[in-house]
Chains A and B, each alone.
Chain A
Amino acid sequence: MLNSTRAAALFALWLMLAGCGVFEPYRVAQTTEQRAGVLLGDFNIYQQASLSVGQNAAVPVTIRLKVVQAARAAKAPADQLDAALREYQDIRVQILTGQSADEKLRAVSDNLERWVVEARPLIEDLGVLLRRAQP
């Protein structure tokens, strides 16, 4: 009885939260470079939220551990995305100063796009997991 009451109350609260403040920086971003930046910023937010859930004694240990491990698993792809973004920016500067070829920019741009595609579902899944795990 308590579980179903709790589930109903939390569902109602979550609906209210969803209606109150949906911010989609990813939709605002217009370039792959900006989208990569949004994912990196969003990942920090999810890491912080994962830490809060992981420290919450009201949540069962198995769920807390799952959330923490999911956040840690997404860290390596986030680092790769960061590296790809920095490489892209470096090459773009080199092109502007005539030190590199357009071909190289295309290669690093493709690489950046690949890591955006790779990291995005991991970070979004972490968000879904967090919503389910919150007490």
Chain B
Amino acid sequence: MKVDLNVVADLLTTLSLVAPLTPAPQLAEVLAYGAQLVRLGEEANARREVLLAQVNTWVKEKRGPTQAELDLFKSDRDRLDLELATLESQLKGLQP
């Protein structure tokens, strides 16, 4: 059975909103964390599905990635590394 993780994430978010009204208010934090985790997993899974489709094409056509695909991987890699470098500097400043 295929579960729609967006529905699960929305459900967890909704539950986290009503949890403070229950006898176990800490549950809200747990549910909110859970919703974040599900969304992150869903995003990665969606991107992996795209990658899987690419690989299936390579296998079917008995070839590897094209130069254009490699160039796209590289530009994404460089852009994300730049963002990670900026974030790294900020986090170092936040360290106790």
Q: Are A69 and B30 in contact (CB under 8 A)?
A: no
Provide the main secondary structure of the chain B interface: helix
- Given A28-B59, A65-B91, A68-B84, CB of A20 within 8 Å of CB of B3: yes
User: Are B58 and A65 neighbours in the complex by a CB distance under 8 Å?
Assistant: no
Q: Does A91 contact B (CB under 8 A)?
A: no
- CB-CB < 8 A to A85: which residues of B? 64-65, 70
Range of interface residues on A (Cβ < 8 Å): 35 or more
Interface mask (A15-32 → B, CB under 8 Å = 1, otherwise 0): 011001101010011110
Please provide the chain A residues from 37 to 77 with a CB less than 8 Å away from any CB of chain B in the complex. 37-38, 40-45, 47-56, 58, 61-62, 64-65, 68-69, 71-72, 75
In the bound complex, how far is the Cα of B61 from the Cα of A31, in angstroms?
Answer: 12
Given A2-B26, A23-B48, A64-B91: A41 and B54 within 8 A (CB)? yes
Please indicate which of the listed interface residues B55, B58, B85 has the most CB atoms of chain A within 10 Å of its own CB: B55
Q: Does A121 contact B (CB under 8 A)?
A: no
User: Which residue of the partner chain, among B55, B84, B91, contacts A47 with CB atoms under 8 Å?
Assistant: B84
A85 to B73, CA, bound (A): 13
- Asked if A86 is at the interface (CB within 8 A of a chain B CB), the reply is yes
Bound-state Cα–Cα, A48 to B50, Å:
15
A85 to B18, CA, bound (A): 52
List 19 additional A-B contacts (Cβ < 8 Å) besides A44-B73, A61-B91: A6-B33, A14-B37, A21-B48, A25-B51, A29-B58, A33-B64, A33-B65, A37-B54, A37-B55, A37-B65, A40-B73, A51-B83, A54-B84, A54-B87, A61-B94, A61-B95, A75-B81, A78-B77, A82-B77
B64 touches A134 (CB 8 A): no
Report yes or no: A65 in contact with B40, Cβ–Cβ below 8 A: no
Cα(A64)–Cα(B95), bound, Å: 10
The minimal Cβ–Cβ distance linking B39 to chain A, given in whole angstroms, is 9
> Known: A34-B58, A38-B55, A44-B80. Contact between A6 and B30, CB under 8 A?
yes
Contacts of B37 in A (CB 8 A): 10, 13-14, 17, 134-135
Interface string of A78-116 (1 = CB under 8 A from B): 110010011001000000000000000000000000000
Instruction: Return chain A residues, CB-CB under 8 Å to B83.
Output: 51
